[in-house]
Amino acid sequence: MSGGLPEDDLKRLSNILIGDQSAKVQILMPSQRHIFGELLKFGTVSSTNFLKLDILSIILNLEEDVRIELGQCFLDAVDKVYQIKSLPQGLATTVSDAALNYKYVKLINICLKSCETCFYPHAQALQEGLTHLLYRCLETSDRLATVEDKECVIELLTFFLQITKQWQPLCLGFLVPLERLLLQIAGKYAWNVNFKYVIRVKTSKSKPASVKYNPLSNKGLELNSSIPNAIEINNPLDKKLLSLGSALFASLYARYDNHNESLLEQESFEIVISSLLKSSDIDLKCCALDFFICPLLNRPEFWQQKQRLKQILPYLVDSFNYQPLPWWFDPFDRLNSLIELYHRHEPLNNPVISFLSKTNVVYGLLTLFSQCLSLKYQNNSTLRSLTKFIRLCASLSAFDELYRSLLLEEKALIHHLENGMEEHLNLLEEFLLNKELIIHLEGDDALSLPPLYDSEITVAWLLLLKSFSRSVTALRTSLKRNRLAELLLNLLRSTYKACQECEFAGHDFLKAEIGIMGITLGGICNFVVEFSYLQSFMLKNGIVEIIGEILTDPLFNAKKPWPDGKRRQVFEGISTDEVETNALWVLRHLMYNCQNSEKLDLLTKIPMSTILEYINDSSWSVQEQCFQLIRNLTCNSRKVVNILLENFKNVHYERDPNTGQPKTVGGTYLFEYLARKMKLLNPSDVVQRKTLEGILYILVNLAAVNENKKELVIEQDEILNILHDILSENPQKASRYGNDSKLKLASLWVLNNLLWNSMISRYTHYALEGYTPSQESDSRALIHRNTPFNNNDVDKILMDEEEEREEEEEYGEDYREEDDEETSDTSENDEEFVHHSLSTDSASQHANRAAIERCNKLVNMGMYDLVKKNIFDESLSVREKARTLLYHMDLLLKGTNM
């Protein structure tokens, strides 16, 4: 007999271990490890192998607190079980006994459930075994499936459901037989479906005998919201196979949605699964919910199928009433995912929130939330529940003022929020304070420390604060607390410090802190908007300096070299897109509608060259915020425009053949770059479309500076052709740009600024939605309110005449630097784009002639006709701007001296 331990001894050991936690612990201790080692030796005697697997399952099935106390001893035991090779190989080749396979996979599932951090190395062998067993269940192999085979399939489905949660790589070899098995089980019970529905259809003129009965082909059925009555599945094996198989298919579909969609195309299967929504069995109900929710979350444009959403929402909400739920189904997660899905597409008309507002489920959940918050002591279970509640509240209040007000009525909630942030801050500061001790105890090599225990709930609190801070009313009332701003700044400093000094902590710890850092910056974004009382507090306490350090750190700036290869290796695979995006977004909000001196002050701390390092970032969201920041910086600032052009200059020196003196030759390639970027962007993507909008408004700002800049823009035929394409679209002819009204409005503003005579002060324009300047002088008489900037930007098309006369012509055929740029501004407080009635008649006439020439070029390109068509656009802003521009073009074409 192989294995060392006689069968009788194994039976006695099994009887001793059953129900005795201390005996189990003794087996795992180093002093008794030889017994555990004998249990891992498997021979050819099936009965002995069965006993060993049973004993291992008993030993490793410990309570959570006991596992935590055992610590590394338990992890080592699980790792040794994972190293067994003979059993998974026997399963892969179907050589082993079916009962032995079942017991082995059941043992592995116990290990996975108890220890999520350990990696199982034989997943590929189990995939092969599952594929063989599935074909056996389909009766397409030489052997028919036994009950033990089906039980083993159920355990294998459970195994793969668990490892998909850990995002381990999987092949799809078993997916085809799995789908066929699910179709077979559904077909077995399809005749029990009781589906009655009423639709309005035209009566057929055909003879009854020639009409084939097919209830699923009736026209109008897709608009029907009724669901069949629940079918009864009495076979427990079929019930388990259908529920776990559907759940596994849904979880794999989220990752491999482009590979196979056969189940989603089977109408009869969908009918059977939809009937399970009414099932009294919670496992079947949850598998049906997962099956229908996953396509909504993962298939493009599928979110538009509101009928399916209306069908599943009542049953999803009803699932909160069941206890216990299947371990693989979380109603909080599913509901939260659906809310966030429609936040991305219809934030102001979210159908999920509209449905919830018609029920009392939210009030019930908020009551439970309040009870959880009032608990005197918290444990892991209550912390997990609290995290789910907070995340759900964050989603509900993200775009809904009613739910924000409802939550903020609970005065203690803000105090709980502050305490949650402060607790994580204190833990992190304590960790930083004792990092030398941790390194001394554990060694210099990078550890694999887990995140701080409250990382997830801290993220949830920050998301809730971010949702609250989207409200103007909340920012000026409930959130007008220096304590909140102070906590956000300290949390940002501490998380950034952890990224700099704690690379020894390992991947998981640092990933969690970078996630908190990104969301913290997202909250700060809302606290530094123009109308926030806390903007000045943030500025005084160094928010710009912190962001300056972040944007020059190699971790967050791919253009910067890494001084330490070890640090780079630790952070490999951790996404920093959210940190970079929100850091630039904070600067964007700070630069909205601010004075020119504030912009120049920012650029002394964070140079334009640093900002421009993000314009080609691998993340589109980072690019979007970079261009939007440049848009705000260039608005109403000739100096910043010149700094931007300076960073795109391409000059070289040649010797003048006439004088023999060196001269600069070249110009700016900014416009070439912008034209190429505009062509590369895909406007069908929301983020890239906003990036394109930001580039267009940069052109708006460039064309607003002076006649020289207008001439630079009008010479860019590539850019003008893109404007032509944008304006040529309509609802009947929507192509690349989707007839987007914001892009049209920005294009009209570019044309407007190209044609406006910047030498004439009485035609002052303001391009800020809802912004009305003070009536200080008659020279600011004409103000157009139908303006495009609903996105934190201002574009005053004004120019100080003294600066205009002092500025040399630049960036034409030959690049010539400005020698007197610093003296061209008489005061830091002067409005750069404001000019009074000091312009000479000759200069004005020259500018007017140039405007007429530019207008003629646009007319020859067909812009006049396009502007005329857009006075009938669906968007009011586009219509009004087109009318103003058309009137202006008509005046120029008539030769009217404006």
H or E element that contains 190: none
pLDDT at 588 over 80: yes
What distances in angstroms separate CA 100 from CA 50, 88, 688, one per listed residue?
A: 6, 10, 55
pLDDT at 813 over 60: no
Q: Which of 606, 421, 570, 560 is nearest to 498 (CA)?
A: 570
pLDDT at 258 over 80: no
* CB-count exposure of residue 153 (10 Å: 0-12, 13-18, 19+): buried
The more confidently predicted of residues 789 and 589 is 589
pTM of the model: 0.83
Largest interatomic CA distance in the chain? 114
The more confidently predicted of residues 235 and 216 is 235
- Coil/strand/helix, residue 652: strand
Cβ–Cβ < 8 Å for 113, 106? no
Owner of token pair 């608005």: 635
Burial 277-306 (b: 16+ CB within 10 A, else e): bebeebbbbbbbbbbbbbbbbbeeebbeee
Q: Which of 319, 392, 396, 320 is nearest to 355 (CA)?
A: 396
Burial 829-846 (b: 16+ CB within 10 A, else e): eeebbbbeeebeeeebee
Helix axes 596-605, 543-551, angle to 10 degrees: 50
Phi/psi at 655 (5° precision): -90, 125
pLDDT at 10 over 80: yes
Fold observed for domain 360-634? Leucine-rich Repeat Variant (1.25.10)
The CB density around residue 469, as the number of other CB atoms within 10 Å, is 24
Owner of token pair 């064309």: 703
The tokens for 249 are 């298919």
- Coil/strand/helix, residue 207: coil
Q: Given pLDDT bands bounded at 50, 70 and 90, which one contains residue 702?
A: very high
Q: Which of 404, 416, 402 is nearest to 374 (CA)?
A: 416
Q: Quick one: pLDDT at residue 170?
A: 65
96-105, 290-299, 566-575, 649-658 — which is least confidently predicted?
Answer: 649-658
Q: Quick one: pLDDT at residue 788?
A: 36
Identity of the amino acid at 606: I
Q: Quick one: pLDDT at residue 775?
A: 35
pLDDT at 537 over 90: yes
Q: Given pLDDT bands bounded at 50, 70 and 90, which one contains residue 607?
A: very high
Q: Given pLDDT bands bounded at 50, 70 and 90, which one contains residue 747?
A: very high
pLDDT at 4 over 60: yes
For 861-873, the pLDDT digits (tens) are 999 999 999 999 8
Torsional sign, CA 464, 469, 475, 480? positive
Helix axes 123-137, 175-189, angle to 10 degrees: 30
Instruction: Give me the residues paired with residue 194 across strands.
Output: 229
Q: How far apart are CA 517 and CA 580, in angstroms?
A: 10
For 610-631, the pLDDT digits (tens) are 999 999 999 999 999 999 999 9
Q: Quick one: pLDDT at residue 212?
A: 55
Identity of the amino acid at 765: H
For 368-413, the pLDDT digits (tens) are 898 888 888 888 888 999 999 999 999 999 999 989 998 998 888 9
pLDDT at 217 over 50: yes
Q: Quick one: pLDDT at residue 867?
A: 92
Q: Are strands 662-668 and 649-655 parallel, antiparallel or unpaired?
A: antiparallel
Instruction: Please give the radius of gyration of the chain, using alpha carbons only, rounded to the nearest integer.
Output: 34
SS3 of 35-62: HHHHHCCCCCCHHHHHHHHHHHHHHHCC
Helix axes 741-755, 717-727, angle to 10 degrees: 130
Q: Given pLDDT bands bounded at 50, 70 and 90, which one contains residue 44?
A: confident
* Average of per-residue pLDDT across 841-860: 79
Q: Quick one: pLDDT at residue 176?
A: 85
pLDDT at 45 over 90: no
The span from the first CA to the last CA of the chain, in angstroms, equals 107
For 670-701, the pLDDT digits (tens) are 999 999 999 999 998 889 999 999 999 999 99
Q: Quick one: pLDDT at residue 327?
A: 92
Q: How far apart are CA 631 and CA 599, in angstroms?
A: 12
SS3 of 109-142: HHHHHHCCCCCCCCHHHHHHHHHHHHHHHCCCCC
Mean of the per-residue pLDDT values for the chain?
82
Q: How far apart are CA 746 and CA 740, in angstroms?
A: 10
For 410-462, the pLDDT digits (tens) are 888 999 999 999 999 999 999 999 988 888 776 655 567 889 999 999 999 99
Torsional sign, CA 161, 162, 168, 171? negative
* Average of per-residue pLDDT across 130-147: 82
Domain ranges of the chain: 185-196+222-359, 360-634, 648-893
Cβ–Cβ < 8 Å for 898, 757? yes
Q: Quick one: pLDDT at residue 816?
A: 33
How is 418-483 classified by DSSP, letter by letter? HHHHHHHHHHHHHHHHTHHHHHHHH-SS---PPPPTTHHHHHHHHHHHHHHTT-HHHHHTTT--HH
Cα 833 to the center of its chain, rounded Å: 38
Q: Quick one: pLDDT at residue 254?
A: 63
Cβ–Cβ < 8 Å for 523, 481? no
Q: Quick one: pLDDT at residue 305?
A: 83
How is 815-864 classified by DSSP, letter by letter? ----SSTTTS-S-TTS-TT---TT--HHHHHHHHHHHHHHHHHHHHTTHH
Phi/psi at 812 (5° precision): -95, -135
Q: Quick one: pLDDT at residue 241?
A: 94
Q: Which of 328, 334, 346, 325 is nearest to 281 (CA)?
A: 325
Cβ–Cβ < 8 Å for 582, 525? yes
- Coil/strand/helix, residue 650: strand
Q: Quick one: pLDDT at residue 661?
A: 65
Q: Which of 223, 228, 227, 199 is nearest to 307 (CA)?
A: 223
pLDDT at 771 over 60: no
Q: Quick one: pLDDT at residue 790?
A: 38
Q: How far apart are CA 824 and CA 803, in angstroms?
A: 5
The more confidently predicted of residues 663 and 803 is 663
pLDDT at 824 over 60: no
The CB density around residue 776, as the number of other CB atoms within 10 Å, is 8
Torsional sign, CA 387, 388, 389, 395? positive
Q: Quick one: pLDDT at residue 603?
A: 94
* Average of per-residue pLDDT across 453-479: 93
Identity of the amino acid at 809: E
Q: Quick one: pLDDT at residue 811?
A: 36
At a CB cut-off of 8 Å and minimum separation 6, what does 262 contact? Answer: 179
Q: Given pLDDT bands bounded at 50, 70 and 90, which one contains residue 94?
A: low
The CB density around residue 493, as the number of other CB atoms within 10 Å, is 18
